[in-house]
Structures are given as structure tokens and as C-alpha cells.
Amino acid sequence: VNAKRIGWAGVVLGAIAWYITLPPVLVRTPVPSILLALAAVAAGVATTRAGEQRLGRGAVLAGAIGAIGAVVATKSGVANLEKVFVWSALLAATLRFATPLLLGALGGILSERSGVINVGLEGMMLMGAFFGIFGADVFGSWFLGMLAGMAAGGVLALIHAVFSIALRADQVVSGVAVNFLAAGITGYVFIAHYGDQGTPGEVPSVPEIKLPLVKDIAFVGDAIGEMSLLTWMALLLVPLMALYLYRTPAGLRLRSVGEKPRAADSVGIGVLRTRYLAVVASGCLAGLGGVYLSIALVHSFNQGMTAGRGFIALAVVIFGAWRPYGALAGACLFGFSSAVAQRLPAFSESLAVLFQALPYVMVLVVVAGLIGRSRPPAAIGVPYVKE
Amino acid sequence: VTEPVDQLDGTPVAQTPASRLAAYIRGGGVIVPLLTALLAFVIGGLVVLITGHDPIATYKAIFEGTGLQWLFPWVTGPERETAALNLQQTLILTTPLILVGLAVAFAFRAGLFNIGGQGQYIVGSIAAVWVGSSFAGMPGFPHIVLAMLAACLAGAAWAGIAGLLKATVGANEVISTIMLNYVALWVGVYLFSQGGPLQNARDSSLPVSNDIAEPAHLPVFWGDPVLQGLHVGLFVALAAVGIFWLLLNRSTIGYEVRAVGLNPEAARYGGMNVAKNYVLVMAVCGLFAGLAGSLDVLGWQFRLATNDIQISQIGFLGIAVALLGRNTAVGTMAAALLFGGLLSGTSQRNLDPTIFEPQLASNLTTIIQGLVVLVVSADVLVLGMLRRGRGLFRRRRPVPEGEA
């Protein structure tokens, strides 16, 4: 039997260990869960021994989380559990929270695959959030608002690109700088234009797609029957991005620029041009994530409303090993933790505040390499100088 | 076993973008930072102009809000009294900025980028408010020292997490410190929000902490204590500047920190424990930032509201302060005064709203902050060219050691 299968079995066992204590199964004793979790840990150890360290650690972690989750669940009241773990609603909320992360992460993949670190995703998302709603308000159209938001993200990305590509600035510092710039610019225009009133209530928003037949199916209908257009777009972008990166000449060129720019240059690929395009495109995608926040999710803007989502998107890029499907998995994981955190006030109002920190703690766990580390593009962070 | 690599840029853990930056950033003298600040202010002025305000009048109003004209002997009478009040505010804000600036600068010198000053500042202020509002009846001086120590330890421990993650598994400190900021923020909001464990004991409807015990307030040495005069925390911050300089330039620890910052591989080859240095450096950074939190709490806030925690940006300003100050002791101090002035000059309290709206002005501060960091990130190139040019002409002469 190969090690990978054992590892994945471990991950699944860990998940099952938690799942059986939650609605609708609701086992009220932790014993079977703990046994399952131990099996998961054992599978993880075996996988690690067999050489699949990354997956092995993932299985061990899944076992640990499964056991802890199961113990907590069996200690809490059934009524509360049923209020929090409404799976269809949780899935819907997961996708809602995952959308901006996924769009930002896909942007991050483009930029970083071309060799430019993009710590500025946060600011680009913030630009998209403000100029999305600003554009929608001024032009009276969600579509033009969306374009304005993407353009604003792209413009900020262009600043980052000029500094990190042409001026060969330190990419992390330049990224941090554009984040400050975005916070200042959006806050300034927001106050100058809307003052103390805030954004108006009747700004046109991105339509939701209602699937006529799917909507009536019991579970699926509640989960995906009514999702924002942008959520669908984000989900659709994942295979498209994978196709682009791995199945087209342009994608190969992009990757070669991020791995071996000198070699790419020597076969006639424009390294700098490719990087410019990639960084600006990443800004547009992150901006689209921001547009989703302001005119699809909350229908208003407040200063600094991205609240670190751009940074989480960056963590999603790393978690997903710079791959589109990996980013999808990461975005759903963080989206799920946000979705659960959002529903926890059922247990305790004040504890729910604490759980707002959950996604950030998750990122820490991920960057700590507990789930394993992956190899970034070889030339990332290194400015390219043509000979 | 594979060598741990940095997650952001894939280089071996030891070589970070920040370490490359630190190597360049020591040169350039005082001219480059001055030009940097000037450029940022000019572009900020353009923003003011485009949005239909008078930039000259705006900057003049902001300058008057800083109270720095108190230094001019020809300013007299009631004008001088107002200036004194404003200057006290400027220096009150400069105090924590010096310390969070040092927190970022110290990391830079070791080749680390500490974006977590904000989180370290928050945990420091939480620790200080907890100690300062407990132990009622304790005499003032030991109580103050205890609260400061608690804040330093809390900040050091918080930053130490990032250092430990960097040293052991190569987790990029940029991402981990950013995440620790958000965790600190939500933990703080949780502690003092309604029903939270450290929420006000007398009024359960207010999302604030208990008040700092009266004897544990830092003494005010300039101005009226009732009107938020200048507290002695400024001298603590200035002492920290001295300690920073001594630690960096006159101690074995500082030698190792600088060596690791300049070239981690060489430092490792030379027998230094690079991983241990990362933890140590981050802990020292957190210590500075945590101390900043305690000075604000004990000096003029006297209590911590959830709102204070959520809107505070002091720690982030530390990045601009350190970069503009060239990561040196004296430079950081000067840059902190600049940003302290900008903060107080654009505050609701000091800026004349008929000339420029304070809410707009605080965003102008953020824009200027971003521009400063942006320009500094690029003047690395300018310095690099300067250095290369210098190398061509005076190949024999060693590059002069940057003074702190």
C-alpha cells in the first residue's frame, strides 16, 4: 500500500472523528472519536516514516484537531451544536468568506509565479473595496463599479511593479508601503466624498445567481443555490488559472520567468514585461476580491475594511504551494474557520469575539509548517537585471 | 534533511529581503532621509491640492498643531501657551513612536522585518493596564516598574513567537508578525469587551479596562496633569535609545546581531548561533514595543478601551519611523519626532478644522507614511549605485561602518 493513501486515510479519519460528534450524527461520548483520532495519528506517523513528511504531519494534525473538536463538541449542549453546525448554511458561509481570499490568492499566485513577492495584496484589495463601491455609486452600475475597483487594484499594483521591477526596490518593503498608501488613499477619498455619513445604502450591488432547479434540492440548494456572481467567477477562475499556468505557452513563460529568469531571457521571453503584466493582473484580481467585499458581501465601505484578508490570501498562496487548486483548498479552509467563528455567538457572545482571531491563528499554524512546507518559485524576490 | 527555506522568497532562512536591505541602508548619511521626507510631504501636498485644499495653509495649520513653534523665542504670550500645550501632545505621541521605531529598527539590523510592532504594543499595553489596575495600595514607584516590566515581558514573549517560528521552522517573520498583530487585537478586544475577563469591574456596560491606580500614574513634568501634560515616559524612551545604541554598538549581542543582519551565512560560519539570534532579536524588539504600550497606558490613557485597541496605528507607524531613521538610534528618534508631530498636528484636538478636516488629515498622515516607506524601499537602489560608484573609484578603501 502506498504511503500517500495511508496519509490521506489519516486525514479523513481525523475529520470523521470530529464529524460524528456534530449534528446530525451527534455521538455524545468522545470515546469512538478519540479512537479514530489515534488511528489518524498512527496513520500520520506511518506516512511520515514512509517518507511523505508533509502529508504525514497533516494527518497527525487532523487527528489532534479531530480529538480536540470531538471532546469540545461532546461537552457542549446539543441545542447549541445544532444552531452552529447547520452544514448547508456553513458551506454557504464558507464560500462567501472564501471568495475574496480565493481571488486575492489567485492574484498572488500570478505575481509570485512571475517572481515578484506581493505583500501588497491587502492594499490592492482595499483599493478594490473602496473604488468598487465608489464607482458603483457614481456610475450607478455594479458592473462599472467592479471595473473601477479592479482598475484601482491594478493601479496600486503598477506602483508596486515599478518599484520592485524597474527600481529594484525590496519587494517586501515596497509591498508594505503600498498597503499604507492604499489605507491612506481610500480613507482620504472616503472621508472627502462621504464624510461622516458613510457610503449610501442603495448602491447597486453584484447580482446573486439563483439556480432555478438546484435551489429546490434539499442540501445543495441551501448551500450553493443562491451565490454571488463573483463567487462563481472565483470558482471558475481556479481551473482556468490551472489551465493557463500548466497547459498554455504563456503560462509556461510566466513560470519560467519566476524560476530561471536568465534562461527565459535567453530564449527571448521579456522577463520584465511578463512580470509587469503578472503584478498588474494580480492587483486587478485582488481588487476584484475587494469589490466582492464592498458591493457583494456587506454593501458598504468602512476604513480598513479588508482587515488582513489580503495577508490571509498571501498565506493561502503559500498554503496552496503556489497552485490554483491548492489555493482553492486553502481559501475554503480559512473561509470555513471564519464561517464557524461567525456562528459561535450561539455559545457565548464574548468568546465569539475571541474566535475572530481564529483565521489568523490558523495562518500561524500553516506558516509554522505544521502542515508542511512547500517550495516557492526559485527566483522570487530577486530583481532581474538584464545583461 | 533539507535546509529550511524562507517561505516568501525561497532563499535559505538566513538570507531575507530585510537582510539585504539592512546591508544597504546603513549608508547614505542624513541627506537621503531628509530628501525622502521632503518628497513624501510634497506628494502629500499634491494630494491636498488635487482635492481642492490649500496645501501651504494645510501644512502651516498642521505645523501650528504640533506646537513646535514653542521653540522659536519670538513666539510669546497666549500663542506660546497654546504652543506649549500642543508640543506636550507632540512629545507624548513621540514617546511611544521612538520605542516602536526601535522595535522595527532592531529587527532590521538583524535582517528581520518586524511588522508586528502593533501587536507587541497591544500586548504590552494590556499587560500594563492589568498590572497597573491591580495591586491597589502598592506604592507608586514599584507599581510603575512592575507594570512596565510586565509590559516588556509580554511584548518580548509575543514577538518571541515569531522569532521562534523563524528560527525553528523557517516561518517567514513578515507573515507571522502580521498575523500576531491581528491575534493580539482580537485578544485585547475580547479581554475588555462586555463580559470579557478584564472588563471594567464597576460598570459592566462599558467595554473598557479598570482604571490604573492613582499612584501608578507616571508623573507629569511639563504642563498640567489634569490637561494631559507631558509625562516622564519620554525619558524612559530616550533611555531606551541609549540602550539601543549601546546594545547594538558596544556589546557582543549587538555585534552578533549586526553580523547576522549583514551576512547570516558568514555569521553561521563564524560560529554564531543564527537561530538563537533570531529569537533574541525578536524578543528585544517586542520588549521595546511592549514598553511603548505601558508608557501610553501609565502616562496618559490610564485605561484601555476596546476602541483604543482597534483604532491604534502606532505600531505600524514604527515601520516608517525606523526606515526613515535609517534603523539607527538617533535617526529613529528624529523620525519619531517628525511622525509624532504629524500625528498631533493632524489630531482633532490640535488641527484647526476650518482649514483642514482632521479626519482627512489623519489619512494624509497615512499617505505620507506610505510614501516614506515606498521611497526608502527604492533609495536602496540609489544607495547601491552610490556604493558601486564609490567602489569603482576607491577600491582600496573599506566601506565606512554605519554609525548608529
In angstroms, what separates the C-alpha of B196 from chain A's closest C-alpha?
6
Q: Which 3 state secondary structure label does DSSP give A228?
A: strand
Which residue in the set B367, B369, B378 is minimally distant from A188, CB to CB? B367
Per the listing, cell 465608489 goes with: A134
Q: List the single residue in B with minimal CA-CA distance to A258.
A: B9
Of B47, B170, B193, the CB nearest to A350: B193
The one-letter amino acid at A309 = R
φ and ψ of A226, to 5 deg:
-140, 85
Instruction: Note whether A357 contacts B171, CB cutoff 8 Å.
Output: no
Report the gap between the CA of A77 and the closest CA in chain B (Å): 21
A25 CA to chain B: closest CA distance, Å?
32
For residues B237 and A319, give the distance between their C-alpha atoms in angstroms, rounded to a whole number: 40
Q: Grid cell 528624529 — which residue?
A: B334
**Per-residue model confidence (pLDDT) at position B384:** 56
Check whether B404 has a pLDDT greater than 50: no
Q: Choose from B19, B175, B189 for mutation: most chain A CBs within 10 A.
A: B175
> B125-169: per-residue pLDDT in tens?
999 999 999 998 889 899 999 999 999 999 999 999 999 998 888
Beta pairing partners, A208: A228
> For residue A374, which phi and psi values (nearest 5 degrees)?
-125, 165
Average pLDDT over residues B220-233: 89
Task: Name the minimum distance, in Å, from the CA of B9 to any CA of chain A.
Answer: 5
Which chain B positions have a beta carbon within 8 Å of A178's beta carbon? 370, 374
Burial A250-277 (b: 16+ CB within 10 A, else e): ebebbbbbbbbbeebbeeebebbebbbb
How many other CB atoms sit within 10 Å of the CB of residue B383?
Answer: 17
C-alpha cell belonging to residue B59 = 501644512
Report whether pLDDT(B170) > 90.
no
Across the interface, whether the CB atoms of A376 and B9 are under 8 A apart is answered: yes
Give the pLDDT confidence score for residue A203 in this predicted structure.
Answer: 86
B-chain residues within 8 Å CB-CB of A378? 10
Q: Give me the residue from A187, A307, A315 closest to B366, CB to CB.
A: A187
B341 pLDDT higher than 60: yes
pLDDT at A271: 92
For residue A371, which residues of chain B lie inside 8 Å, CB to CB? none
Partners of B231 in the β-ladder: B220
CA nearest to A355 within chain B: B186
According to DSSP, the residues that pair with B5 across neighbouring strands are B12
User: Is A188 within 8 Å of B364 when comparing Cβ atoms?
Assistant: yes
Best of A162, A180, A354 to substitute, by most chain B Cβ atoms within 10 angstroms, is: A180
Residue from the list A187, A188, A367 with its beta carbon closest to the beta carbon of B176: A367
Chain B: residue whose CA lies nearest to A123 = B370
**Tell me, what's the pLDDT at A334?**
87
Which residue intervals of A248-348 are DSSP H helices?
A: 249-259, 261-266, 271-292, 309-319, 324-343
- Stretch B258-281: mean pLDDT, rounded? 88
Q: How far apart are CA B93 and CA B88, in angstroms?
A: 9
Give B142→chain A minimum CA distance, Å: 32
Residue type, A220: V
Are B371 and A357 within 8 A, CB to CB?
Answer: no
Give how far B80 is from chain A: nearest CA, Å: 32
* Residue A375 distance to chain B (closest CA, Å): 7
pLDDT mean over B365-369: 90
- A163/B189 Cβ within 8 A: no
A191 vs B contacts (CB less than 8 Å) = 357, 359-360, 363
CB contact under 8 A, A357 and B186: yes
Tell me how far the alpha carbon of residue B112 is from its chain's centroid. Answer: 15
Which residue out of A118, A173, A375 would a mutagenesis test of the B interface target, given it has the greatest number of B Cβ atoms within 10 Å?
A173
Is the torsion defined by CA of B304, B308, B310, B314 positive or negative?
negative
CB contact under 8 A, B115 and A350: no
Q: What is the predicted pLDDT for the residue at B39?
A: 86
Does A373 contact B370 at a Cβ distance shorter than 8 Å?
A: no
Q: At what angle do helices B77-109 and B55-66 cross, to 10 degrees?
A: 90
Answer whether B377 sits within 8 Å of A187, measured CB to CB.
no
Choosing among B123, B366, B369, which should be mutated to test the A contact, i.e. which has the most A CBs within 10 A? B366
Residue B24 has pLDDT above 60, yes or no: no
Asked whether the beta carbons of B65 and B344 are under 8 A apart, the reply is yes
The reply to whether residue A373 touches residue B7, judged by beta carbons under 8 angstroms, is yes
Q: Show residues of chain B in contact with A350, CB under 8 Å.
A: 190, 193-196
Nearest to B181 by CA among A82, A293, A44, A122: A122
Residue B400: what pLDDT? Answer: 47
Q: Given a cut of 70, is residue B4 above it in pLDDT?
A: no
Give the number of beta-carbon pairs within 8 Å between A and B: 190
Q: Residue B364: list chain A partners with CB under 8 A.
A: 184, 188
Cβ-contact B264, B111 below 8 angstroms: yes
Give the span between the Cα atoms of B71 and B17, in whole angstroms: 41
Question: What is the nearest CA distance from A170 to chain B, expressed in angstroms?
Answer: 6
Q: Do B21 and A173 touch (CB under 8 A)?
A: yes
pLDDT interval class at B29 (50, 70, 90): low
Residue with cell 467567477: A233
- Percent of chain B beyond pLDDT 70? 86
Closest by Cβ to A357, choosing from B187, B366, B373: B187
Distance (Å, rounded) from C-alpha A329 to C-alpha B309?
Answer: 33
Q: What would the pLDDT profile of B44-68 be if each residue is shown by its tens digit? A: 999 889 888 899 999 999 998 899 9
State yes or no: pLDDT of B403 exceeds 70. Answer: no
Q: Work out the minimum CA distance from B7 to partner chain A, whole angstroms.
A: 7
How far off is chain B from A347, nearest CA to CA, in Å? 13
Least confidently predicted of A64-68, B259-263, B393-397: B393-397
In this prediction, residue B350 carries a pLDDT of 83
ipTM (interface predicted TM): 0.85
Best B1, B324, B351, B374 member to test A by mutation, with max A CBs in 10 Å, is: B374
pLDDT, residue A369, reads 66
Inter-chain residue contact B179 with A364, CB threshold 8 Å: yes
User: SS3 string of chain B?
Assistant: CCCCECCCCCCECCCCHHHHHHHHHCCCCCHHHHHHHHHHHHHHHHHHHHCCCCHHHHHHHHHHHHCHHHHCCCCCHHHHHHHHHHHHHHHHHHHHHHHHHHHHHHHHHCCCCCCCHHHHHHHHHHHHHHHHHCCCCCCHHHHHHHHHHHHHHHHHHHHHHHHHHHHHHCCCHHHHHHHHHHHHHHHHHHHHCCCCCCCCCCCCCCCECCCCCHHHCCCEEECCHHHCCEECHHHHHHHHHHHHHHHHHCCHHHHHHHHHHHCHHHHHHCCCCHHHHHHHHHHHHHHHHHHHHHHHHHHHHCCCEHHHHHHCCHHHHHHHHHHHCCCCHHHHHHHHHHHHHHHHHCCCCCCCCCCCCHHHHHHHHHHHHHHHHHHHHHHHHHHHHHHHHHHHHCCCCCCCCCCC
A254-298: per-residue pLDDT in tens?
999 999 999 999 999 999 999 999 999 999 999 999 999 999 998
Tens digit of each residue's pLDDT (9 = 90 or more) over B75-127: 888 889 889 999 999 999 999 999 999 999 999 988 889 999 999 999 999 99
Q: Do B179 and A361 touch (CB under 8 A)?
A: yes
Which residue from A159, A182, A378 is facing B10, i.e. has the nearest CB? A378
Q: Per the CB < 8 Å rule, is B51 touching A188? A: yes
A 10 A CB-CB count for A201 gives 7
**Local confidence pLDDT in tens for the 387 residues of chain A:** 688 888 889 989 999 999 888 888 888 888 999 999 999 999 999 988 888 877 888 888 888 888 988 888 888 888 878 777 778 888 888 999 999 999 999 999 999 999 999 999 999 999 999 999 999 999 999 999 999 999 999 999 999 999 999 888 888 889 999 999 999 999 999 998 988 888 888 888 888 888 777 777 767 777 777 888 999 999 999 999 999 999 999 999 999 999 999 999 999 999 999 999 999 999 999 999 999 999 999 889 988 899 889 998 998 898 888 999 989 998 998 898 888 888 777 777 777 788 888 888 888 887 776 555 567 788 888 888 877
Asked whether the beta carbons of residue B194 and residue A349 sit closer than 8 angstroms, the reply is yes
**Chain mean pLDDT for chain B:** 85
Cα separation of the two ends of chain A? 51
Count of CB atoms within 10 A of residue B17's CB? Answer: 27
Measured in angstroms, the CA of B39 and the nearest CA of chain A are apart by 14
**Residue type at position A271:** V
Residue type, A57: R
